[in-house]
Chain A
Amino acid sequence: MVRFENVGMRYGAGPEVLSDVTFTLPPGSFHFVTGPSGAGKSSLLKLMYLAHRPSRGFITLFSRDVTRVPRRELPELRRRIGVVFQDFRLIQHLSAFDNVALPLRVSGSREDVVRKHVTELLTWVGLKDHLHARPPTLSGGQQQRIAIARAVIAHPSLLLADEPTGNVDDTIAVRLLYLFEELNRMGTTVVIATHNKSLIARFSHPVMHLEDGELTVLNRDAEKK
């Protein structure tokens, strides 16, 4: 599903924020990415959701070498990836419904299909009464659920979440993780970046630990040692 080989990444002419990162995520796996602030978690995810290209190394996604894939082919690959951004990145002037509907609309789904699926999903995440509410009028937790609904509406093969529990209390954070696990059971490969160690401790999924841009730990057993 995802393969990084000696990947390095820098922003512009700045220093490398990721160095020699190498790992493989099999299809249907569930991984946490952890590490202190500035360790490179978000940068690693940016490479995975194709917002950036690596400065060196190779990245294989869905059996495609995405370091060399032409720009015109990126949208097709991105449609197979669902992303929950750290700051949600909801479109402020659109309603909750329209925000969640976007991935379906950009991929050309019929409007009746969009209406059915979006309403179902927003009901499932408990926002049935807020279909037409705009993000600024909603709480942080509600916005987060919209962001998650948008990430999963198109049934992505790969789900990436950057600090998805950053704005919610522990109870909701755990519930969100259960939601991700449920999606994982349905076949979606899940990668969650978080520095919430107590939350990670509640689940038994492998952990990738980043420190100063280098991947230092790749599984729970190694971390426990």
Chain B
Amino acid sequence: MSESQAVLPLSGDSSSRLLPWIIGIMVYLGAVILAGAMVLAAAAAAWNDELTAAFTVQVAPLDGEKDGEIETRIRNTAKMLRNVPGVAIVNVVPAETTMAALEPWLGPNLKAQDLPLPRVIDVRLEKVGAVDLAALAKEISKDIKGVVVDSHEYWRGQIESLVRTLELLATVVIVLIGFSAMAAVVFATRSGVAVHRDVIEVLHLIGATDQYVAKQFQRQAFRVSLLGSLFGGLLAVITLFGFGRLLSDLDAVLLPAPTLAPWEWIALGIVPILACLIATMTARHTVIRALRRMP
């Protein structure tokens, strides 16, 4: 037996046999939740970019307006918009398209003239922030009546709020998972100290330091958590690939492709390493505390 081999037979303990599974499940849950949070953050950023790089102009019908007059106002508004520096595309949405969008709620027999619906102009910018929307709204309103500029600020705020809430939730869940893993390690280590108390006493009496004894527990915790982390990490990767395939097969309008950037894969790779580190340090801290109560 070399010095590196175990003086305490910790690998045979029942708590040690369960620990890899517990750590594995914790790593799996932690990695999947982290990946979910990162995908969601990326999706939210993409949505936000899309909403920020575009705005909508609504041209509402005016009281007593004759047929065709609204078309003139729409044409004038579109013409003005096309002349604004920074505007890339101005697309007047046909009335039929608006009606088609409303058909699921209002039924198929509705005519565009039946409702005083505003006409919509979809405007794309060359880049985010290329146009001062407040100034533009003021200028258009000065020349053309019944025009409203919608900067999508409300929707952006809603999305940001949702994403922040979900990110906070993910963080809380990951922290709770970390604490649960630590609790499992504390339990296993305390039970190991209790089971092997006699041997630890002998080690102390022949001059072993607390650090020497703690090292035995640390090594075991590292081995066990490494095993669990590899299992949990592998399972998480399989799940993420499976989920990615599933989503890419769907005609998902709202969800962008759930791909992870290289740095996000690195962040996921840190989860098992962190689990090993937490398990090892928790075992060391627990055993040192327990040993201090011994003579």
Contact = CB atoms under 8 A, between A and B. Distances in A.
Interface of A: 49-53, 71-72, 74-76, 78-79, 83, 89, 91, 93-95, 97-98, 101-103, 105-107, 111, 150, 154
Which of B198, B206, B212, B292 counts the most A-chain CB atoms under 10 A from its CB? B206
A93 B9 contact: yes
A78 B202 contact: no
Contacts of A150: 206
Nearest to A71: B292
Nearest to A89: B202
A107 B295 contact: no
Interface residues of B, number: 20
B62 interface: no
B1 interface: yes
B295 A51 contact: yes
Nearest to A106: B208
B3 A78 contact: no
Contacts of A111: 2-3
Interface in B145-172: none
Contacts of B204: 74-75, 78
B186 interface: no
Contacts of A51: 201, 205, 295
B206 A103 contact: yes
A95 B206 contact: no
Contacts of B206: 78-79, 83, 102-103, 106, 150
Interface of B: 1-3, 7, 9, 198-199, 201-210, 212, 292, 295
A42 B202 CA distance: 15
Contacts of A53: 295
Contacts of A83: 205-206
A159 to B, nearest CB: 13
Contacts of B212: 106
Contact of A102 (B198, B203, B292, B295): B203
Nearest to B202: A89
Nearest to A153: B206
- The 5 lowest CB-CB distance pairs between A and B, nearest first, are A79-B207, A106-B208, A78-B207, A98-B1, A75-B209
A105 B205 contact: no
A72 B207 CA distance: 11
A107 B206 CA distance: 9
A22 B108 CA distance: 109
Contacts of B9: 93
A75 B206 CA distance: 8
B1 A95 contact: yes
Contacts of B208: 75, 106
Given A51-B295, A91-B202, A94-B7, A103 B207 contact: yes
B13 to A, nearest CB: 12
A60 B208 CA distance: 21
A106 B203 contact: yes
B295 A101 contact: no
A25 B292 CA distance: 30
Contact of B207 (A93, A97, A101, A107): A107
Nearest to B3: A105
B205 A78 contact: yes
Contacts of A76: 207
Given A51-B295, A89-B198, A111-B3, A106 B207 contact: yes
A23 B204 CA distance: 26
A49 B203 contact: no
A132 to B, nearest CB: 10
Given A83-B206, A91-B202, A106-B207, 5 more contacts: A52-B295, A76-B207, A89-B201, A91-B7, A97-B1
26 contacts: A49-B205, A50-B205, A53-B295, A72-B209, A75-B207, A75-B208, A75-B209, A79-B206, A79-B207, A83-B205, A83-B206, A89-B201, A91-B7, A91-B199, A97-B1, A102-B206, A103-B206, A103-B207, A105-B3, A106-B203, A106-B207, A106-B209, A106-B212, A111-B2, A111-B3, A154-B207
A98 B2 CA distance: 9
Contact of B1 (A49, A79, A94, A154): A94
Contacts of B198: 89
A106 B199 CA distance: 13
B181 to A, nearest CB: 28
A71 B211 CA distance: 13
Contacts of B201: 51, 89
Contacts of B203: 102, 106
Contacts of A74: 204
A18 to B, nearest CB: 16
B192 to A, nearest CB: 14
B189 to A, nearest CB: 19
